[in-house]
Amino acid sequence: MSARLNTREDYQKLLDAYDTWLFDCDGVLWRGDHLIDGVTEVLDILRRLNKKIVFVTNNATKSRKTYKQKFDQLGISIHVDEIYGSAYAAAVYLSTVVKIPKDKKVYVIGQSGLEEELRDEGLTYIGGTDPADNTLAQFDLSNFVLDPDVAAVVCGLDTQINYTKLSKAFQYLTRNPGCLFIATNEDSTYPTWHGLLPGAGAVSAPLRYALGKDPICTGKPSTTMLDCVKAKVHFDPSRTIMVGDRLNTDILFGQQGGLATLLVLTGITSEDEIIGPNASAIIPNFFTQGLGDFRVIDKSP
């Protein structure tokens, strides 16, 4: 059973109970480039109360550095070390868990943020934003030269996904022995200011279908993402809360990490998915309409 936060006391109790606050971004802080009502004020309240704040996003289109710029542009003061993205998690997974040899390459389906994180981890990649792959020209397999050094395909949200990229990724995954299939995240949709669009999971879905194989996911709810945070941030799970807008990524991630969970309704999930006969099996501890609701604690009782 999920508890709806209603009164000033409800919000105060949560602030008292948790020292570390993990925030999802799309659908919690913003939709596209539009901040959600009250976010800046609530982050200010948490700073004033000396809470530890961490941002954990599955959106792999930006690197941590470019997220920092986005926060700056939106007028939110944060440190780059407070940001953890699924692009970063994929790069760390390849460099420190798989320990991909330096002479090997990654074939990227994704945007510049994913390329930047791979580069920062010392990994070599092809594909991605390369104009040669961002084409609607017919893919010609007879002209394709297979690069034997491609040891992994990493797939993130790519708003310029096309048949050439899917075909090349498919070639590497079927013809290069041991080539790893990695998805930064598997969100089926993501929230923009004007409504939902297909998410990164929908970008990797054609490959999953063609291969008959699931990728290794490095974003929420996977433990790779939590391991990345734990490697840099010390927190007591019993005094930590994950705030998110999606049940099968954010809330599951929090639950699997032994954290409390708070759902906001400003992104993907609606109230009927957590309450009533059609409720999901993944239920947050708490829910509230939006992060801005915490502003009530600054109002006189």
Ligand X SMILES: O=C(O)[C@H](O)[C@H](O)COP(=O)(O)O
Q: Which residues participate in the annotated binding site for Mg(2+)?
A: 24, 26, 245
Contact pick of 5, 22, 25, 92 for ligand X (by CB under 6 A): 25
* 71's tokens: 């926060």
Distance CA 123, CA 116 (A): 10
Nearer to ligand X, 59 or 285 (CB): 59
Rg for the chain, CA atoms, rounded: 20
The closest residue (CB) to Mg ion is: 27
Site string for ligand X, 49-88 (x = CB under 6 A): --------xxx-----------------------------
Of 16, 24, 81, 133, the catalytic one is 24
Nearer to ligand X, 26 or 176 (CB): 26
Q: Is residue 222 at the binding interface for ligand X, with CB under 6 A as the rule?
A: no
Contact pick of 22, 150, 151, 200 for ligand X (by CB under 6 A): 200
Give which of Mg ion, ligand X, none residue 222 binds (C-beta under 5 to 8 Å, depending on kind): none
The closest residue (CB) to ligand X is: 199
Q: Is 24 a catalytic residue?
A: yes
Q: Is 272 a catalytic residue?
A: no
End-to-end CA distance of the chain: 28
Query: Which window, 14-22, 27-35, 140-148, 278-286, contacts Mg ion (CB under 5 A)?
Result: 27-35
Q: Is residue 269 at the binding interface for ligand X, with CB under 6 A as the rule?
A: no
Distance CA 136, CA 177 (A): 28
Query: Which window, 13-21, 22-30, 110-118, 280-288, contacts ligand X (CB under 6 A)?
Result: 22-30
Contact pick of 157, 247, 252, 259 for ligand X (by CB under 6 A): 157
* Angle of CA points 253, 259, 264, to nearest 5°: 70
Site for Mg ion in 208-247 (CB under 5 A): 245
Do the bridges between strand 83-85 and strand 34-35 make them parallel or antiparallel, or are there none, so unpaired?
Answer: unpaired
User: Which residues make up the interface to ligand X (CB under 6 A)?
Assistant: 24-27, 57-59, 157, 185, 187, 190, 199-200
User: Which residues make up the interface to Mg ion (CB under 5 A)?
Assistant: 24, 26-27, 245, 267
